[in-house]
Structure 1
């Protein structure tokens, strides 16, 4: 099938929205956001307001739908994305430190490079190739200094490596550790079983990428999910196992980790305020159970 849709001007976009039943109370405001955000990006936020159209392939909005409704959802999703990204950044920094510290103290500055520490040789080889590329590409002062001063071994010590690896790369180094005792020692800092932490870090890498690329988060159905933990009990009870592909369980896991890493930040409190600030954001689309604020993890003193 050949793509034959024409390009549509902003004025024509507004006329199209009105023809389909959307109210545009402030045309200048709509023009501004269609120019600076784009019709295509905003479209994801007015989809929840669409109704079944009479003509096949056409679109129709429910009576009373306003351009401001879609805009409110867009702003809410942006604020939610930034709030989640702030927490993942803190989690990533903490995880880097925990991984590097354990391996440095147990195996020495360069012990992490020993293939015998890893379960799958093919995964180790791929991770090493990625590390070599990062070291070669890095212009960080500490990496440049190491390369100029040392040549044996050519790779930096683990605490430097931790600073240049992405969260995705780091999760693979961590997940491929052969000995459960190593994974468990690192996971202990976060109050989780190693199997659960491997899963959560892998999932948060995926969520971080959505946030970093300004993707829609609030009603996203995730492809990469995470393991529901059995402990601590308060964390397990807060989860919603019926909605493993929705955002809610991610928020529970992030809230647990941020309370350990940065207690007193009020991250969960601000999240609750944010979730309650946008009535248009359907709680079910985020996987929120009806009693979520009464579950142990969300009871803020």
Structure 2
């Protein structure tokens, strides 16, 4: 995702003379901006609260500001500054968090950010996006730059499977149906989309039809669309690389509460201390893998979705 986003930021810097990009001991996202407009790139070092303070000041001075750094340190170290200095006054700052979720794998829980999307979604005035591949990441950053206030985009730290062509039409307010729902429906975003698609392929071999609805945004959340999609099935599975209590699963449960009856399956991260492993191994540990999703959906579908 990072090279694709770096190109978007470079294009945006040429189009928007007031755009400034900030980093914290890393400039991978801003290589093009740094080369073409060195005066419009600022690296504050390993000082994330200061990073957000500088971003706030530049935004108050009329600049469009992009902050790009490692998600775990941005979300945890600078949470107070993000809320009070940027989100409460509704300033034009786009936050790009690299390595949200389990993106940094073997570096361990100090470098994991399973709560990043929910943390930003809890802030006032925010747009929160979680792209699944480089194509969607480029679109998401453009959307965030156009958003009239604070926005957060989770970006992968390593390579992600390419799921969408360059011409894929994305819509901020709607999901994308990638598989038709017959026996069950999977709601997924970010890394969960590829997992859900693999699970659908596994289930198809057994004659079980798992629909996949891919979402781009945790906020604004398409609650009406999810209720409509769930109405046609008795099994709904949420697949996400995020803490179960504050992400897609939690918001889906709220959207469906009181209006839908069926089997609700959650494949998300929980608060267990993780073993040492790469991203794929960690996702499997938490049950966010095609085999786990397929097994749970197969069992639920066999019961006809009866709670």
Greater relative CO, 1 or 2 (CA 8 Å, sep 6+) = 1
User: TM-score per shorter chain, which class?
Assistant: under 0.3
Give the TM-score normalised by structure 2: 0.25
Greater per-residue helix proportion: 1
Greater CA radius of gyration, 1 or 2?
A: 1
